[in-house]
Amino acid sequence: MPDKPFPWYCTRCKKATIEPSKQRYEFTQKHDGRTQQIVIDAIPIPTCTNCGYQTFDQSTLAVITEETYKQLGLLTPAEIRQNREVLYLKQQEMQDALGLGGNSLSRWETGHVYQSRALDRFLRVFFASGEARRILKNEDRTDVEDVEQVCLVKRCFSHIPRSLSCQRVTFRSDRFATAYEGN
């Protein structure tokens, strides 16, 4: 209840003694195999003047979340979503372009999980570079069903032996070239 006027009722000492307060807040955050110290100098934490009980309301938690992303050096969930929307991409389209599995992008954009450092850098390149996005689009892999669709429509792949029209055929739309990977 961030809009409720102070003082708030303290559930620990049963008095109306919680007042606004700005404090230094420090904690360790594990991310991507490392442990990092997060330090926030002046964060609003409503605190009981009688017993010291701290109240973490929604606005406090929002500041902690935002600062944690910044200090870990990661794009925030809002930054990821805004950058995607600037490119007029749906979540699924961007997932496909990046080759992400499951609902990774959705989980990053809602802040359910932190993206790894490597994928954070990948996101930054994707957002910043039209060339990177073009490369990723052209390198899209198609599965057998897609290739067979191409066969029917354009007859480009009619020479693929049935025994080889297996799991992994790379299709380059720019040159109509195919490559067989493995057996």
Binding footprint of Zn ion on the chain (CB under 5 A): 10, 12-13, 48, 50-51, 53
Q: What are phi and psi of 88, to 5 degrees?
A: 55, 40
Q: Select 13 or 98, whichever has its Cβ closest to Zn ion.
A: 13
Q: Select 7 or 111, whichever has its Cβ closest to Zn ion.
A: 7
CB of 27 to Zn ion, least distance (A): 22
CB of 86 to Zn ion, least distance (A): 47
Q: Select 15 or 172, whichever has its Cβ closest to Zn ion.
A: 15
| Secondary structure of 3-26 in HEC code, one letter for each residue | CCCCCECCCCCCCCCEECCEEEEE
Q: Select 8 or 108, whichever has its Cβ closest to Zn ion.
A: 8
Question: Is 23:34 a contact under the CB 8 Å cutoff?
Answer: no
CB of 54 to Zn ion, least distance (A): 10
CB of 18 to Zn ion, least distance (A): 7
CB of 35 to Zn ion, least distance (A): 32
Q: And the tokens for 47?
A: 């605190």
Alpha-carbon distance of 140 to 135, in angstroms, equals 9
Give SS3 for 147: helix
Question: Is 40:67 a contact under the CB 8 Å cutoff?
Answer: yes
The single residue listed with the structure tokens 């029209």 is 165
Query: Does the bond joining 44 to the residue before it have cis omega, within 30 degrees of 0?
Result: no
Q: Select 23 or 178, whichever has its Cβ closest to Zn ion.
A: 23
Cα–Cα nearest to 85, from 127, 49, 113, 122: 127
